């Protein structure tokens, strides 16, 4: 599917075919695409928890206030981020770069993140947001629908998936075959209300 068509046709779908299953090959194709999403300093700090266990998905649905798409969609992806990815062997993110690039980048990573908890969290959310959009557009290009979600108890879900202490959950994205179209777009603001030239 053309990129512009995928952007235009991507909608937050709420009703999915619970009997449809994505193949392992499709899931791998989707996730491989998502790992090409950009991250600052190439940290690749996102972690994608793909929940396949049906019993666990039912528990997560309870933590998501009973929203059916959690269990009915073909795929439930919990987008998380490792807040400390910047200090966990950062040379691996730049192992194929020329030595002079590594010599510049690796100290810069430490200078940018060390002791700055808010910066680490902000970067995690930015990275997961970009990854989520990449996931949804790739899904649409593959003929699937999706829905981004933050309507759930974050602490409860973190407990259910054994989230490490130095990780954070950003959101869910569910992917599957829609059985009901999204409602018409309720209203897009015109460009002159959202695009500011040079300064406010």
Q: Looking at residue 94, which CATH number applies to its domain?
A: 3.40.109.10
Nearest to 123 by CA among 152, 93, 86, 173: 86
Is residue 64 a contact partner of residue 50, using CB atoms and an 8 Å limit? no
Does any domain span residue 195?
Answer: no
- How large is the angle between the packed helices 117-141 and 99-113, nearest 10 degrees? 120
**Full domain range(s) for residue 132:** 3-181
Residue 181, pLDDT above cutoff 90: no
Does any domain span residue 170?
Answer: yes
Does any domain span residue 84?
Answer: yes
Which pLDDT score, from 0 to 100, does residue 108 have? Answer: 98
Q: How confident is the model at residue 184 (pLDDT cuts 50, 70, 90)?
A: confident
Distance CA 167, CA 158 (A): 9
Residue 99, pLDDT above cutoff 90: yes
Model confidence, pTM: 0.95
Does any domain span residue 190?
Answer: no
CB proximity list for 108: less than 8 A, separation 6 or greater: 41
Residue 154, pLDDT above cutoff 90: yes
Does any domain span residue 196?
Answer: no
Does any domain span residue 200?
Answer: no
Which residues, in sequence order, are bridge partners of residue 76?
174
Residue 185, pLDDT above cutoff 90: no
Does any domain span residue 198?
Answer: no
Distance CA 13, CA 174 (A): 9
Does any domain span residue 171?
Answer: yes
Residue 166, pLDDT above cutoff 90: yes
Q: What is the domain count for the chain?
A: 1
């Amino acid at each position: 599917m053309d990129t512009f068509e995928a952007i235009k046709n991507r909608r937050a779908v709420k009703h999915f075919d619970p009997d449809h299953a994505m193949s392992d090959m499709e899931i791998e194709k989707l996730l491989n695409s998502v790992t090409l999403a950009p991250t600052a300093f190439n940290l690749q700090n996102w972690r994608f928890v793909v929940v396949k266990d049906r019993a666990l998905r039912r528990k997560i649905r309870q933590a998501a206030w009973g929203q059916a798409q959690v269990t009915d969609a073909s795929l439930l992806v919990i987008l998380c981020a490792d807040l400390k990815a910047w200090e966990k062997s950062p040379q691996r993110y730049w192992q194929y770069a020329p030595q002079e690039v590594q010599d510049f980048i690796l100290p810069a990573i430490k200078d940018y993140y060390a002791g700055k908890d808010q910066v680490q969290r902000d970067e995690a959310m930015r990275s997961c947001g970009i990854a989520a959009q990449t996931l949804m557009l790739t899904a649409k290009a593959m003929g699937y629908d999706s829905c981004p979600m933050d309507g759930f108890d974050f602490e409860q879900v973190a407990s259910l998936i054994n989230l490490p202490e130095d990780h954070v959950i950003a959101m869910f994205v569910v992917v599957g075959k829609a059985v009901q179209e999204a409602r018409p777009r309720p209203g897009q603001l015109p460009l002159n209300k959202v695009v500011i030239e040079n300064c406010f």
